[in-house]
């Protein structure tokens, strides 16, 4: 079972990318590239829960920890995703302390949470590693809550204070839309919101994360973001296709 390296999470830049094509082959290519973590997107991506296990298998043997973004804080989906061998879950649009607490409750075993316990699941090598998995899961399963609204930014300190929340991950496009500056990551009110999230994380020893974009990587590093993703498999294919066609047309 490949978990996120907690020492790196707290002290170093952890590089990731988004995978939204629902393709195990795409996941395999990304896993072999050398990213620290991969985001398998079941919220906006083309893949379904039925595709998830093959995507998780495509990470096997690599050093990239698979994090799965689901559509909402749903206990049944959380249980299936974690039983399937994910290292953690990204919960979208978390705007309150109550939602963040529900996310932690769903992903953690009792007494910390209410996740159901099973022995013969893929995460435990179908029972061979049940005891070590059970003993480590509460400490090592990663809880990533997305900060995508002004309300979430305002509540970020209280969210970061919750035991079990590991990463406050800014969804920049949603946040920019909700702040009234769609897609403009340079607006002062947007940058101020990012700074507030980073400070909340620093105050509570949690990790700030963001999906950055070309031209903003250095700024986001300097602001303090460490759990950082850039690009997606769909964008990589799109850009390569456009470039190839342009070369042929010249």
Element spanning 1, H or E:
none
**CA 47/CA 55 separation, integer angstroms:** 9
Q: Which residues are catalytic?
A: 44
Task: Tell me the helix, strand and coil percentages in the chain, rounded to 5.
Answer: 45, 15, 40
All residues at 6 or more sequence positions from 86 whose CB lies less than 8 Å from its CB, including other chains? 40, 56, 66, 67, 68, 123
Per the structure block, which two tokens stand in for 75? 């206990």
All residues at 6 or more sequence positions from 24 whose CB lies less than 8 Å from its CB, including other chains? 51, 54, 55, 57, 58
Terminal CA-CA length for the chain: 49
**CA 147/CA 227 separation, integer angstroms:** 14
């Amino acid at each position: 079972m490949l978990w996120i390296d907690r020492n790196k999470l707290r002290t170093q830049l952890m590089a990731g990318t988004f995978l939204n094509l629902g393709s195990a082959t795409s996941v395999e290519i990304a896993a072999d590239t050398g990213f620290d973590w991969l985001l398998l997107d079941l919220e906006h991506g083309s893949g379904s829960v039925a595709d998830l296990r093959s995507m998780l298998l495509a990470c096997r043997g690599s050093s990239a920890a698979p994090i799965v973004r689901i559509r909402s804080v749903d206990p049944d989906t959380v249980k299936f995703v974690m039983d399937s061998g994910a290292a953690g879950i990204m919960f979208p649009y978390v705007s309150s302390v109550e939602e963040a607490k529900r996310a932690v409750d769903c992903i953690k075993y009792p007494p910390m949470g209410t996740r159901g316990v099973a022995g013969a699941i893929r995460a435990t090598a179908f029972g061979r590693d049940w005891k070590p998995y059970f003993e480590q899961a509460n400490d090592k399963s990663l809880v990533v809550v997305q900060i995508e609204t002004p309300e979430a930014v305002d509540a970020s300190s209280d969210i970061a204070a919750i035991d079990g929340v590991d990463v406050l991950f800014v969804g920049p496009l949603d946040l920019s839309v909700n702040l009234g500056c769609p897609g403009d990551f340079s607006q002062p009110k947007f940058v101020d919101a990012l700074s507030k999230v980073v400070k909340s994380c620093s105050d509570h020893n949690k990790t700030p994360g963001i999906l950055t974009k070309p031209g903003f990587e250095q700024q986001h590093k300097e602001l303090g973001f460490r759990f950082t993703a850039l690009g997606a498999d769909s964008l990589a294919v799109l850009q390569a296709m456009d470039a190839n066609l342009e070369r042929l047309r010249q």
